[in-house]
């Protein structure tokens, strides 16, 4: 009897796994099919041209791709040092009584839906940026900062989890040789959990690059590459969120699908790299 | 009741009326432990699991201070001062009193960097000096021949027994006066165990050793003095050959004859 149940269970899980794979393949296929028209029309120009003119049926994704890259890069530059600092504090420095409450509040912050970060960014952050840096306050810089704030809790929590895998006995061994707390953090904890930390950072990167709601409000949706970060800009998800409802021609529609396909490929690549690091870490442990 | 033999040699440490209470515990885990530890000798600590051997050992290098709320009472005299004093400099204490753990703890770095680690912590930067000290430590730990061609390799590629000897090399590189071993062979195969035991015996010319072991034969083989602990108390301390042949305390006798464990 249990034998049969085992068998049913095994087959059910296998079926679910197959369904998940099928759905993924399906999404890829749909995106690919819908993109075909745009691919045939623009070829490689699609990724190298930044002119995005629906009225002229001219679509180039360069500005959106660059916008995604720059806003994500900005967010990472701002968030990584702080996240690592918070993780070190939580895993190595904070008093035991502080670890749990601060850790839980960080996990709560990570659970805030990103649209709320977006609204908060628009109403409270945009004016601040406008006052400090000039411009209209909506643009790349604001998007980068809001993104950084949004991914920070997740990044800090996962980095802390990676650091917590360092065995106590290894840390004690370094203390036993006359190491200070700082010596142990930099020579033992960080090197030991390096693979996990990098995995955590890349996972956060994956979230940042696909993030839509937090930045849609504050980015501006202007298809222009500008190195003045206070200028309005756009990113792939921002373009998609803003323009799908407006896509009134087949080519416009297809171009948006090609944008989505590019985003999916980028995200998949990032997640694969992160997975690779996580796998390496677990294999060693 | 307890019987503590007198130690005629010079003493490396003198533990007096020592109590230790873990932050999370209501009762002390060590009660009124009084124990002289002879210089350039090997003192073994035996007793059933949970009797407080590790707790006592980890008090000697103040390892318990890494976790908040643990309480020491009494004295551990070392070089004329009580190291339980609040003013004690724990960094230099731990340089002088090294520790080897239950499992090999190779750091995530090269073999060379592992052994150089303690020296670098003390600010030694000169390459030749570092190289000489690393080589000497590896030779003293009887592992030089096996690793001299791969000093730059990751230490985690070594076998368990080799890693444990690497940890010993790392500990003796800083030339401590005392070495504390907490069941150093419990994760090793018999051949590696024998190697470590021989090594420990050779080291006593240079350092005073306290070794915790759950293996009575090991205590009998390597040590000069043996302390038997039970429920947080030191029941008996004696010369090893006497303690195992003519124990003074009934509990000691029952333990070494295997009546409980
Ligand atoms: N971190 C700790 N917190 C509270 N109690 C502990 C801790 N570590 C050990 N103990 C308790 O202290 C006693 C002695 O433990 P230990 O010194 O590890 O024994 P042994 O090394 O002889 O096996 C045991 O009762 C154990 O449960
Ligand atoms: Mg123990």
- The CATH number that applies at residue B240 is 3.40.50.300
**Number of domains comprising chain B:** 1
3-state secondary structure of B90: helix
- What residues contact residue A272 under an 8 Å CB cut-off, 6+ apart? none
Which ligand minimizes its atom distance to the CA of B45? 1
Q: Flag whether pLDDT at A285 surpasses 80.
A: no
Q: Residue A194: list chain B partners with CB under 8 A.
A: 108
Is residue B83 included in any domain, yes or no? Answer: yes
The pLDDT of residue A283 is: 55
Residues of chain A in contact with residue B109, where contact means CB-CB under 8 angstroms, are 187, 191
* Among A96, A97, A170, A178, the residue to mutate for chain B (most B Cβ within 10 A): A178
Interval B87-119: pLDDT, tens: 999 999 999 999 999 999 999 999 999 999 999
The values of phi and psi at residue A225, to 5°, are: -90, 120
pLDDT at A282: 58
Residue A281 above 70 pLDDT?
no
Residue closest via CA to ligand 1's atom 16 equals B52
pLDDT in tens, A44-94: 999 999 999 999 999 999 999 999 999 999 999 999 999 999 999 999 999
Task: Tell me if B245 is assigned to some domain.
Answer: yes
Using a CB-CB cut-off of 8 Å, the residues of chain A touching B174 are 177-178
Residue to test with chain A: of B107, B115, B171, most A Cβ within 10 A: B107
Contact B102 A169 (CB under 8 A): yes
In a domain, B213, yes or no: yes
Shortest Cα distance from A178 to chain B (angstroms)? 4
Which chain B residues are closer than 8 Å to A174 by Cβ? 107, 117
**How confident is the model over A220-249, as pLDDT tens digits?**
889 999 889 999 999 999 999 999 999 999
Would the CB atoms of B95 and A178 count as touching at under 8 Å?
Answer: yes
B9 inside domain: yes
pTM: 0.87
Which of B50, B60, B102 for a ligand 1 pocket mutation test, highest count of atoms within 8 Å of Cβ?
A: B50
ipTM higher than 0.90?
A: yes
Q: Residue A77 has what pLDDT?
A: 97
pLDDT at B214: 87
Query: Closest approach of chain B CAs to the CA of A186, in angstroms?
Result: 11
Q: Does residue B69 line the site of ligand 1, with CB under 6 A?
A: no
Positions of chain B with pLDDT under 70: none
Residue whose C-alpha is closest to residue A262's, from A56, A74, A34: A34
**Which ligand approaches the C-alpha of residue B50 most closely?**
1
Q: What mean pLDDT is reported for chain A? A: 92
Whether B172 maps to a domain, the answer reads: no
All structural domains of chain A, each given as residue ranges with its CATH number in brackets, are 48-284 (1.10.3720.10)
Contact A188, A171 (CB under 8 A): yes
- Read off the pLDDT of residues A5-32 as tens digits, 9 standing for 90 and up: 888 998 999 999 999 999 999 999 999 9
- Asked if the Cβ–Cβ distance from A177 to B174 is below 8 Å, we say yes
pLDDT at residue B260, as a whole number: 83
Nearest ligand to residue B186 Cα: 2
Q: Are strands B81-82 and B97-100 parallel, antiparallel or unpaired?
A: unpaired
Q: How far is A82 from chain B (nearest CA, A)?
A: 25
Q: Do A177 and B98 touch (CB under 8 A)?
A: yes
Which chain A residues are within 8 Å of B107, Cβ to Cβ?
Answer: 170, 173-174, 187-188, 191
Does A277 have pLDDT greater than 90? no
Q: Is residue B151 part of a domain?
A: no
Span from the CA of B54 to the centroid of ligand 1 (angstroms): 7
Pocket of ligand 1 contains residue B55 by CB under 6 Å: yes
Q: Is residue B22 part of a domain?
A: yes
Mutant choice from B105, B106, B155, B183 vs A, greatest count of A C-beta within 10 A: B105
A275 pLDDT more than 90: no
Q: Ligand 1 in contact with B192 (CB < 6 A)? A: no
State yes or no: pLDDT of A135 exceeds 90. Answer: no
Adjacent-strand bridge partners of B208: B178
Range of the domain at B29: 3-105+178-256
Residue A142 near residue A228 (C-beta atoms within 8 A): no
The per-residue pLDDT for range A91-119, each reduced to its tens digit, is 999 988 899 999 999 999 999 999 999 99
CA-nearest residue for atom 2, ligand 1, is: B22
Residue B66 CA to its chain's centroid (Å)? 18
Is B160 inside any structural domain?
no
Residue B71 in contact with residue B196, Cβ under 8 Å? no
**CA-to-CA distance for B19 and A166, rounded, in angstroms?**
31
């Amino acid at each position: 009897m249990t034998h049969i149940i085992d068998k049913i269970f095994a087959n059910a899980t296998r079926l679910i796994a197959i369904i998940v794979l099928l759905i993924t393949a399906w999404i890829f296929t749909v995106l690919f099919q819908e993109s075909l028209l745009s691919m045939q029309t623009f070829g490689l120009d699609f990724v190298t041209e930044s002119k995005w003119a629906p009225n002229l049926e001219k679509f180039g994704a360069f500005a959106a791709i660059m916008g995604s890259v720059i806003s994500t890069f900005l967010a990472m530059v701002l968030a990584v040092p702080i996240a690592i600092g918070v993780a070190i504090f939580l895993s190595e420095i904070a008093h035991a009584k502080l670890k749990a409450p601060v850790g839980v509040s960080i996990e709560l912050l990570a659970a805030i839906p990103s649209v709320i970060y977006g609204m908060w960014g628009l109403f409270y952050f945009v004016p601040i940026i406008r006052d400090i840096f000039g411009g209209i306050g909506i643009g790349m810089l604001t998007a980068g900062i809001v993104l950084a704030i949004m991914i920070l809790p997740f990044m800090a929590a996962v980095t802390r989890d990676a650091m917590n895998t360092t065995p106590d006995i290894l840390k004690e061994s370094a203390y036993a040789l006359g190491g200070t707390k700082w010596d142990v953090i930099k020579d033992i904890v960080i090197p030991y959990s390096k693979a996990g930390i990098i995995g955590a950072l890349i996972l956060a990167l994956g979230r940042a690059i696909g993030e839509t709601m937090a930045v849609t409000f504050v980015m501006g949706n202007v298809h222009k590459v500008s190195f003045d970060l206070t200028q309005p800009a756009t990113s792939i998800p921002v373009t998609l969120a803003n323009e799908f409802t407006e896509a009134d021609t087949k080519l416009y529609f297809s171009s948006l699908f090609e944008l989505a396909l590019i985003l999916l490929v980028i995200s998949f690549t990032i997640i694969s790299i992160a997975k690779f690091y996580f796998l390496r870490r677990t294999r060693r442990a | 009741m307890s019987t503590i033999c007198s130690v005629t040699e010079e003493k490396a440490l003198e533990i007096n009326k020592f109590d230790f209470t873990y932050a999370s515990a209501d009762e002390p885990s060590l009660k009124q432990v009084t124990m002289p530890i002879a210089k350039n000798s090997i003192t073994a600590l035996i007793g059933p699991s949970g009797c407080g051997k590790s707790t006592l050992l980890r008090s000697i290098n103040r390892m318990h201070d890494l976790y908040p709320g643990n309480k020491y009472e009494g004295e551990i005299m070392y070089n004329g001062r009580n190291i339980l004093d609040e003013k004690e400099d724990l960094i230099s204490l731990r340089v002088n009193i090294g520790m080897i753990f239950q499992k090999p703890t190779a750091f995530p770095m090269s073999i060379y960097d592992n052994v150089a680690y303690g020296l670098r912590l003390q600010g030694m930067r000169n390459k030749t000096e570092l190289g000489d000290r690393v080589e000497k430590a590896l030779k003293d730990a009887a592992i030089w021949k096996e690793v001299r061609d791969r000093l730059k390799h990751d230490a985690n590629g070594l076998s368990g027994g080799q890693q444990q000897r690497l940890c010993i090399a790392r500990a003796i590189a800083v030339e401590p006066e005392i070495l504390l071993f907490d069941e150093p062979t419990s994760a090793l195969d018999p051949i590696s165990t024998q190697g470590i035991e021989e090594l420990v015996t050779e080291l006593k010319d240079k350092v005073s050793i306290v070794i915790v072991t759950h293996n009575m034969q090991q205590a009998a083989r390597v040590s000069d003095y043996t302390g038997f602990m039970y429920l947080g108390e030191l029941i008996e301390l004696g010369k090893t050959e006497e303690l195992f042949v003519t124990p003074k305390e009934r509990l000691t006798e029952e333990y070494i004859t295997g009546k409980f464990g």
